[in-house]
Structure 1
């Protein structure tokens, strides 16, 4: 709570020390729709589009388990050309694929359904999506837009502002897609450092929320290995085995990190926090599930 009595969820989470590791939502396919007008609180679902087209896009996205995000360039008053759309697809071998198009009429967005069923083009640079969805959560705008500004100044062709990506209290949030990497609790300076390192093939544990192809305890395990042994490429580590007994996970992480060990045993324990207000606009109290790394050891 600020001196003015206004609640900011990211400030509260930072003051409590809420851990960010293991908080990346699962997903390997993203649909981006550039929309230059105001964003409704519920994003794409709230747009006044042709109902049949919207239903077709949503149906295809559900089938592909894709997340639909509205995007826009930061601070550009007169964008060039028609709005764009994209389908971004993660590949566990690193051969990520993308398909891009443009739309001028609502009906043009129906092409997204076909793109969701096609492989897409490999070898394109990743997209940096910065959550700046102020109508969904105040902290996303307050903390996200300075991040979007700093990153857009450095990589104008890669960076987009986007609608809600999850984890409002970890703002500023960004997703590198289709790499499938979530970073959180960023400001202008730390975001430029994190993205610069990411684009150079080095993922650091600092600010890492998780890899979106892994489940929360696995995300926490990989982040712990990165924190102990240093940054590594997005696909340098993989989860080879996961076992669970009640609230305790044993996770084997294997790696190709040059000069380091090749396998690790990571112990993770989960617990729920006391009920708290987790978003700016949601006054109801909710308990969060936290994944705590108990130990990391080099496997024999």
Structure 2
């Protein structure tokens, strides 16, 4: 076995995390305790016909389907399937129980309140363990979710931590997705993940490991994180919905993003540049290549 084949892509930490979040604002989280194929809609998890119909249904609403399962054996013994509907722009999770994947075809994902589902008040943390997509997710994701499951064991009302199928960015494993806001996090360990959950439960913005809010473009993600980090460094407690991106002027290599602190009434002008990064390993077994990342060059506060 070559050295390249032995090296985990997530051990090659050449990239900054901000600006790398999975993008999307609507998600369907479907509980499926069985095996997941490399692409959950490639016909290997469900039948080819159902997979094609599910892909068409998700595309109709610009939604992302993720498969989730409880990390413990007892938590996977189910009669019906949890189905969580996430509307990240509104910060809402809805939940209902359905009999099987065919029922996903009947969902109306145009907005909240259309599927006879209950509103969920607790956040959810999804930990990627999709080994068939990349082995980093098994090597680093599974130990993390097993530890977290001890704090959040399987019982009604305690469904905070779930395994999930591919959420992009396995080179940042262990990777997590925080709902309902669609924040991606990378290079997480148990202490960081527990602190993240505690912050989310209290509605606080969590900076360490933050890859960005998925409802934003890559430079806007990096800009929002930079402002949050500066405020936290200055001793300000930042709430999850305290910052709002007002405007983003973007080109291929430069961006200017306006981020508003809704509490203070301050607008921050954030200047960013995209720079090349050498030695990026996208997936386990891949050769290193040149990548790119967004870097903040200046943050200038202005009063409205």
TM-score normalised by structure 1 residue count: 0.87
Q: Does 1:298 align with 2:301?
A: yes
Structure 1 stretches of at least 4 aligned residues deviating more than 6 Å after TM superposition: 1-5
Q: Does 1:287 align with 2:290?
A: yes
1:102 aligned partner: 98
Whole-angstrom CA distance in 1 between matches of 2:70 and 2:39: 19
Q: How does 1:165-180 map to 2 (within 5 A)?
A: 165-180=167-182
Q: How does 1:50-129 map to 2 (within 5 A)?
A: 50-77=47-74, 79-94=76-91, 96-104=92-100, 108-117=101-110, 119-120=112-113, 121-129=118-126
Q: Does 1:268 align with 2:272?
A: yes
Whether contact under 8 Å (2:128, 2:163) holds in the other structure is yes
Whole-angstrom CA distance in 2 between matches of 1:50 and 1:245: 42
- From 228, 239, 243, the equivalent of 1:233 is 239
Whole-angstrom CA distance in 2 between matches of 1:245 and 1:137: 32
Cα displacement string for residues 248-298 of structure 1 (whole angstroms, at most 9, x for unaligned residues): 2111111124xx5621111111123235322114x2444322000001121
| Unpaired runs of at least 5, structure 1 | none
Residue 112 (structure 1) shift: 4.1
| Unpaired runs of at least 5, structure 2 | 154-158
Greater RCO between the two (CA within 8 Å, min separation 6)?
Answer: 2
Whole-angstrom CA distance in 1 between matches of 2:239 and 2:43: 37
Whether contact under 8 Å (1:146, 1:187) holds in the other structure is no
Tell me the secondary structure at the aligned position of residue 194 of structure 2.
Answer: helix
Q: Which moved more, 1:114-123 or 1:161-170?
A: 114-123
Cα displacement string for residues 77-118 of structure 1 (whole angstroms, at most 9, x for unaligned residues): 463432514242325343x142422225xxx52344424356
Cα displacement string for residues 13-72 of structure 1 (whole angstroms, at most 9, x for unaligned residues): 2xx3x2000000210111222222222122243435344433322111011111111211
- From 111, 127, 132, the equivalent of 2:129 is 132
TM-score normalised by structure 2 residue count: 0.86
Count of residues paired in the alignment: 290
Tell me the secondary structure at the aligned position of residue 150 of structure 1.
Answer: helix
RMSD: 2.5
Whether contact under 8 Å (2:36, 2:45) holds in the other structure is no
Whole-angstrom CA distance in 2 between matches of 1:28 and 1:135: 25
Tell me the secondary structure at the aligned position of residue 45 of structure 1.
Answer: coil
Whole-angstrom CA distance in 1 between matches of 2:45 and 2:77: 23
Whether contact under 8 Å (1:261, 1:298) holds in the other structure is no
1:152 aligned partner: 149
Whether contact under 8 Å (1:28, 1:178) holds in the other structure is no
1:9 aligned partner: 9
Whole-angstrom CA distance in 2 between matches of 1:63 and 1:5: 39
1:255 aligned partner: 261
Whole-angstrom CA distance in 1 between matches of 2:210 and 2:88: 20
Residue 3 (structure 1) shift: 7.8
